[in-house]
Chains A and B, each alone.
Chain A
Amino acid sequence: MELLLQAFSWLLTPESWTQQGGALQRLFEHLGVTIGVVALSAGIALPLGVMIGHTRRWTTAVALLAGAARAIPTLGLLTLLGLALGIGLGAPVLALLVLAAPPLLAGAYAGVQAVDRAAVDGARSVGMSEAQIIRSVELPLALPVIVGGIRSATLQVVATATLAAYTSDTGLGRYIFSGLKSRDYPELIAGSLLVIALALLLDGSFALLMKRHASAPRSDLKTTTTSPGRNPS
């Protein structure tokens, strides 16, 4: 408990935040890596997932693949890529991209697939093109599940971005690794608290966003929600 108090006093010291390589800079690095990786991964996985959900092809293969990806330990992937690519941001970013893809893909295809067939057939029968069906029927109805997938991916990436400091000097994980090495426990604990706070803040923002969306007038439309699987990390 003594250590916890020291950690809090570290957190309350302005220099811990403002100095070169301080908590503020680390926090922004951490957030930047998280947002960048999720955006990049979403740019590939979401269109792919939506297409799979729309055509209903390869859904079993994707479900199996997403399940298998769960079994791969990220630290193993990270160190393997670290050995291949060397010290730097390349290995963690690549490992995090792989980590973020399954929940994004699962959210997109499950969400689109769960859209009521009657709505899709109705849209087709009034003469909508396939692109129009995706854009104005399937996407709006699938949005809650897709956002759920983005939420899962974001949480997983923000947590695992801590490990990025293992192969590069980036993000809040640095405090944990340097704290462990130099036995600077207050800094170690303060860094841990910051990562937890950041993760809970992001999760809370998503919860709020989804709640507001759910209470919008759209909520009377029928959607089936399936939560895409996620690993703790």
Chain B
Amino acid sequence: MKWLNQNVGSLLELTVAHLALAVPAILLSLVIAVPIGWTAQRLRWARDPALALVGVLYAIPSLPLFVLVPVVLGIGIRSSANAIIVLTVYATAIMVRSAADAFSSVPLEARMSATAIGYSTWHRFWSVDLPLAIPVMLAGLRVVVVSTVSLVTVGSVIGIPSLGTLFTDGFQRGIVAEVAAGLIVTVLIALVLDGMCILAGRALTPWARAAEAR
């Protein structure tokens, strides 16, 4: 408690830094994965190779990637860009699979009806495929949110500030309260963002509740 009272400022600062790395990575993964997932669903032959590729990406351990990305791209090892790129790789790996599953879950009749009444591919994507894919995609997004928020902390080992800094600093100085505070706040952020995903999902799929009420 004493540690907390004296360090509320730095706790807030690190929380903001944590979010500034996690949120862009989560959003970027959505923007990258949705078109890939949609394409994988349309071009059957592309599906398996694409999923195999993201499977391999997913198998790469994160700490080594935090070291290698800056070497290959020539960016600073302690830069936010490094953290966001690494986090985006893992988030995208989960999200592509989930988006491909989500677009496959759209009923064929719905898609064919849209085409039959004259929707263009572009129009159908926005008003039929994407909305109907939301429930399955949301499940993937929730996994992405929780695991990304937790993964951000690994960057602190190489000096990228986040709530993980409380782990490394607390460990080196032997302050249990500091490490515990970092753990609790990280889990809280994951829970809050997860809750926001659920609410957004409800707002975006009003028909799901209408069907439940009937």
Contacts and interface: CB of A to CB of B under 8 A. Distances in A.
Given A76-B153, A83-B170, A162-B61, A229 B190 contact: no
A60 B48 CA distance: 32
A183 to B, nearest CB: 10
Contacts of B167: 73, 75-76, 78-80
A203 B58 CA distance: 10
Contacts of A72: 150, 183, 187
A155 B55 CA distance: 12
A159 B67 contact: no
A175 B64 CA distance: 10
A72 B60 CA distance: 20
A109 interface: no
Contacts of B68: 189, 192-193, 196
A232 interface: yes
Contact of B59 (A71, A73, A200): A200
Interface string A149-166: 000000100111011001
Contact of B63 (A76, A77, A173): A173
A35 interface: no
B66 to A, nearest CB: 8
B153 A176 contact: no
A29 to B, nearest CB: 16
A136 interface: no
Nearest to B86: A232
Contacts of A4: 71-72
Given A71-B191, A162-B63, A176-B63, A76 B182 contact: yes
Given A76-B183, A195-B61, A163 B157 contact: yes
A233 B183 contact: no
B186 A76 contact: yes
Contacts of A114: none
Interface string B169-191: 01100101001101100110011
B56 to A, nearest CB: 7
> Most chain-B CB neighbours within 10 Å: which of A158, A199, A231?
A231
Interface in B104-161: 143, 146-147, 149-151, 153-154, 156-159
B164 interface: yes
Contacts of A80: 167, 176, 179-180, 183
A166 B157 contact: yes
B84 to A, nearest CB: 15
Contact of B62 (A76, A79, A159): A159
B71 A231 contact: no
A4 B72 CA distance: 8
Contacts of B64: 162, 176, 191-193, 195-196
Contact of A73 (B164, B176, B180): B164
B56 A76 contact: no
Contacts of B183: 72-73, 76-77, 80
Nearest 6 pairs between A and B by C-beta?
A: A159-B61, A192-B64, A232-B90, A79-B171, A76-B183, A203-B59
